[in-house]
Chains A and B, each alone.
Chain A
Amino acid sequence: MPEVELRRIVKRFGKVTASRDIDLKIADREYVTILGPSGCGKTTLIRMIAGIIEPSEGKVLIGGKDMEGVPIEERDIGYVFQNIALFPHLNALDNVSYGPIVKGMDEKDIQEAPRCYLELVKLLDRMHMFPSELSGGEQQKVSLARALASGAKLLLLDEPLSALDARVRMDLRYDLRRISKDLGLTVVHVTHDQEEAMTVSDRIVLMRNGQIVESNTPEMLYLAPRNLFTANFVGETNLLEGTVKEVLEDRSLLELRDGTMVEAQPSRFKSGDAVVLSIRPERVHPASEGLRSVVKSITFMGTYIRISVETDSEDQVNFDVSTSEDRDYKIGDRVDLIWSKRSGILYPRPPEGVQEAIKLE
């Protein structure tokens, strides 16, 4: 039962605090992604779970047992690194067999287990190839098979897809989730890629500056982020600054900078509060009357077209239209925008300014 628990973890490197008071519980068989920008402390966290580094304060528990002083090889974990770390002089099969041999598993397991995991990543037909003969994606699949071959039920993935081509990443992230679920693994996966996190996870833990910002299912993080930073980091969003006019039972009314009145979800704000409205591009629609704006750019995105406008309230807004749309948009066109009040979410306007609050690095 490899559930993982972090209790009030603090990690300091000299003057830098990489983790501040981290409390986190990961359930047995849960797939959790630790997501955040470079330098947010996500790698430090996974390394403490693995036992590569020790926390300055707090406890790491795996399967209910305190891991203090327990080295990585005794923690019963599989670990996959960002930079593919296969033995170059061993073929795929020997790479995967390494763990079972070192662990002194019995002969039958040493024969069978590596083949079983190579089959799982669909590389059995390439087992005699050396890493240099395999593509990047194939090498990372061998790394995964190697991490699993010792039978570990806790899998730690440290940016496992970052070194691969975008298109290869897309296929592999579906495989990662499928294999972990088929094997009933508990997974902790670190990434800076919010799309990857959304696709693979049961739950996403979003980090920034060494702290957990928010932790929830991909769906809740995208549809109902509790925090302005989350709203912008997990998927794209439009942010409009305004002042609350009135809060009713079914909606909030706010005034934008040019005096235009728009609607959002009901909220706890009071009249006069300075707020930021977050609205996803796919929720904004053109209409005969609404927030007035001018088209600034038009981008073909494949299955939809992204239109960027500047509103009369001096906000930048993106919205998406279908490629089969009748209207032919041109730069400089005037367009009015509306959205359903349910899809607009309000946040207090941050004292440090919106740009500072959503800064990505």
Chain B
Amino acid sequence: MVAADGLEISVENGEYLCLLGPTGAGKTTTLRVIAGLTRPDSGQVLLDDRDVTGLEPEKRNAVLLSQTYSLFPTMTVAENIMFGPEIRGMPEEEKKRTLVELLDLVRLTKRSSSYPRELSGGMQQRNALARALATNPDVLLLDEPLRALDARLRIDLRYELRSLAKGLGLTVIHVTHDQEEAMVMADRIAVIRYGRIIQVGTPREIFDHPATPFVATFVGQSNFFTGNILCSGHGRTTTVHDDEGRIVFARPSTLPVDSKVVVAVKIGNTRVVKLSDAYLTGTVERTLFEGRIVHLDVNVPGLGRYSVKLPASRRDQVAVGDEIGLNWDVDKASVFSYPEDGLEKELKVD
């Protein structure tokens, strides 16, 4: 099995990079290779331009925080934090100062003599983070650091973790399967699948200009339309039609006329419009209130289910059974050549 395949990426000093992909994509393997816990079969790992591929983990100045935190159950919060400095023989004075600083940083000063089992999930996560930071690393490697926590708590901790890393000037590589988490936390996102990096970019680049149909649906969910190009070319709106004579529009593309393509548009960028302005028409099958937005399932005959997110303030304007029109801003729709292995396989997120 090839877990990471010809993978190449560079991370800037002080950058927060999220490695985003589905389970089994090779994210954790990549992180372990960087940490020195797994040897690559071929290739190099460089930290600060220095080849560290053959170096032991503790000589890399990169520390890995594992998904399960791996705190020592028989040690207190403070003992867990001081484990690394102790082993490295840090002078007593410096040890004391480091401990006070780190406890304060992760807000566990009052819990310094508690044991891991007495802490909540969020506290355990912060304890493990402090232990990782105690060795004063330049590079922090986070493997799904928020996965074990409750959904609502995760939302708050995203901001907290990012600002802590930024405050310390750390370079962070953070592995996650959660595209929302990556969008909110990352300076840049690297999307990984089948051991390969598919796209690297800012959250905005990844969301607005996905490199493949998979990225289009993995990061932010998209609606898809399959057809052939009628018009295309530099600076010209791409026009795509299907066998049923439906026509949709998308941003400029260099793919040639007549080629079989897939148009992708984010469900959040799919608009409900008057039938006269519609690219596609369909029947509302279901409306689901989701708080700030209302989720609509729309059955478009011959194409299947399209999803739309409407601001909740417009929820009274659409009801189940309504015939509605759909269109989108041309610049929000991407055009891809039809995937060789078929669209269904390309879009599989699981």
Q: Which residues of A contact B (CB under 8 A)?
A: 37-39, 135-138, 164-168, 170-171, 174, 177-178, 191-196, 198-199, 218-219, 222, 233-236, 280-282, 297, 299-303, 320, 360-361
Stretch at the interface among B29-37, B284-292, B317-325: B284-292
Interface contact A38-B150, CB-CB below 8 Å? yes
CA distance A218 to B288 in the complex (A): 9
Q: Does B79 contact A (CB under 8 A)?
A: no
Q: Which residues of B contact A (CB under 8 A)?
A: 22-23, 120-123, 150-153, 155-156, 159, 177-181, 183-184, 202-204, 207, 218-221, 266, 268-269, 286, 288-292, 295, 297, 309, 311-312, 349-350
Q: What's the least CB distance linking A338 to chain B, in Å?
A: 16
Q: Which B residues are CB-close (under 8 A) to A297?
A: 159
Q: Which A residues are CB-close (under 8 A) to B295?
A: 199
Q: What's the least CB distance linking B318 to chain A, in Å?
A: 15
Q: Which B residues are CB-close (under 8 A) to A300?
A: 183, 202-204, 207
CA distance A167 to B292 in the complex (A): 19
Top-9 shortest CB links A-B: A303-B268, A193-B151, A166-B178, A137-B350, A135-B350, A361-B120, A165-B177, A192-B150, A235-B291
CA distance A300 to B183 in the complex (A): 7
Q: CB < 8 Å: which of A37, A165, A192, A233 contacts B23? A: A165
Specify the chain A residue showing the minimal Cβ separation from B202.
Answer: A300
Interface contact B179-A166, CB-CB below 8 Å? yes
Q: Which A residues are CB-close (under 8 A) to B291?
A: 195, 198, 218, 222, 234-235
Q: Known contacts A192-B152, A196-B151, A282-B292; decide if A167 and B204 are in contact (CB<8 Å).
A: no
Number of A-B contacts (CB under 8 A): 109
Q: What's the least CB distance linking A317 to chain B, in Å?
A: 14
Q: CB < 8 Å: which of B151, B156, B269, B349 contacts A165? A: B349
Interface contact B152-A37, CB-CB below 8 Å? yes
Q: What's the least CB distance linking A113 to chain B, in Å?
A: 25
Q: CB < 8 Å: which of B23, B268, B290, B349 contacts A171? A: B349
Interface contact A167-B269, CB-CB below 8 Å? no
Q: Known contacts A136-B350, A167-B218, A235-B292; decide if A302 and B150 are in contact (CB<8 Å).
A: no
Interface contact A360-B153, CB-CB below 8 Å? yes
Specify the chain B residue showing the minimal Cβ separation from A318.
Answer: B159
Q: Known contacts A167-B218, A360-B150, A361-B122; decide if A302 and B183 are in contact (CB<8 Å).
A: yes
Q: CB < 8 Å: which of B23, B150, B156 contacts A136? A: B23
Interface contact B350-A166, CB-CB below 8 Å? no
Q: What's the least CB distance linking B16 to chain A, in Å?
A: 12
CA distance A121 to B155 in the complex (A): 31
CA distance A144 to B292 in the complex (A): 30
Q: Which B residues are CB-close (under 8 A) to A177?
A: 288
Specify the chain B residue showing the minimal Cβ separation from A171.
Answer: B349
Interface contact A192-B151, CB-CB below 8 Å? yes
Q: Which B residues are CB-close (under 8 A) to A219?
A: 289
Q: Which B residues are CB-close (under 8 A) to A166?
A: 177-181
Q: Which A residues are CB-close (under 8 A) to B349?
A: 165, 167-168, 171
CA distance A8 to B297 in the complex (A): 40
Other than the known A166-B179, A192-B152, what 5 A-B pairs have Cβ atoms closer than 8 Å? Answer: A165-B350, A166-B178, A171-B349, A191-B151, A361-B120
Q: Can you give 30 A-B contacts (C-beta < 8 A)?
A: A38-B150, A135-B350, A136-B23, A136-B350, A138-B350, A164-B350, A165-B178, A166-B177, A166-B180, A167-B177, A167-B179, A167-B221, A167-B349, A168-B349, A174-B297, A195-B151, A195-B290, A198-B289, A222-B289, A233-B152, A235-B292, A281-B292, A300-B183, A300-B207, A302-B203, A302-B268, A303-B269, A361-B121, A361-B122, A361-B123
Specify the chain A residue showing the minimal Cβ separation from B268.
Answer: A303
CA distance A352 to B35 in the complex (A): 44
Interface contact A303-B309, CB-CB below 8 Å? yes
Q: Known contacts A137-B350, A301-B183; decide if A198 and B290 are in contact (CB<8 Å).
A: yes
Q: CB < 8 Å: which of A164, A191, A302 contacts B220? A: A302
Q: Which A residues are CB-close (under 8 A) to B178?
A: 165-166
Interface contact A194-B177, CB-CB below 8 Å? no
Q: What's the least CB distance linking A325 to chain B, in Å?
A: 14
Q: What's the least CB distance linking A127 to chain B, in Å?
A: 17
Q: What's the least CB distance linking A324 to chain B, in Å?
A: 8
Interface contact A194-B184, CB-CB below 8 Å? no
Q: CB < 8 Å: which of A170, A178, A301 contacts B184? A: A301
Interface contact A280-B292, CB-CB below 8 Å? yes
Q: Which B residues are CB-close (under 8 A) to A233?
A: 152
Specify the chain A residue showing the minimal Cβ separation from B177.
Answer: A165
Q: Which B residues are CB-close (under 8 A) to A138?
A: 350
Q: Known contacts A192-B151, A194-B152; decide if A38 and B177 are in contact (CB<8 Å).
A: no
Q: Which A residues are CB-close (under 8 A) to B221?
A: 167, 170
Q: What's the least CB distance linking A154 to chain B, in Å?
A: 23
Q: Which B residues are CB-close (under 8 A) to A38?
A: 120-121, 150
Specify the chain A residue showing the minimal Cβ separation from B151.
Answer: A193
CA distance A195 to B291 in the complex (A): 8
Q: What's the least CB distance linking A196 to chain B, in Å?
A: 7
CA distance A299 to B182 in the complex (A): 11
Interface contact B184-A299, CB-CB below 8 Å? yes
Q: Which B residues are CB-close (under 8 A) to A195?
A: 151, 290-291
CA distance A299 to B201 in the complex (A): 15
Specify the chain B residue showing the minimal Cβ separation from A165.
Answer: B177
Q: Which of B150, B286, B289, B311 neighbours the largest number of chain A CB atoms within 10 Å of its CB? A: B150
Interface contact B290-A199, CB-CB below 8 Å? yes
Q: What's the least CB distance linking A85 to chain B, in Å?
A: 18
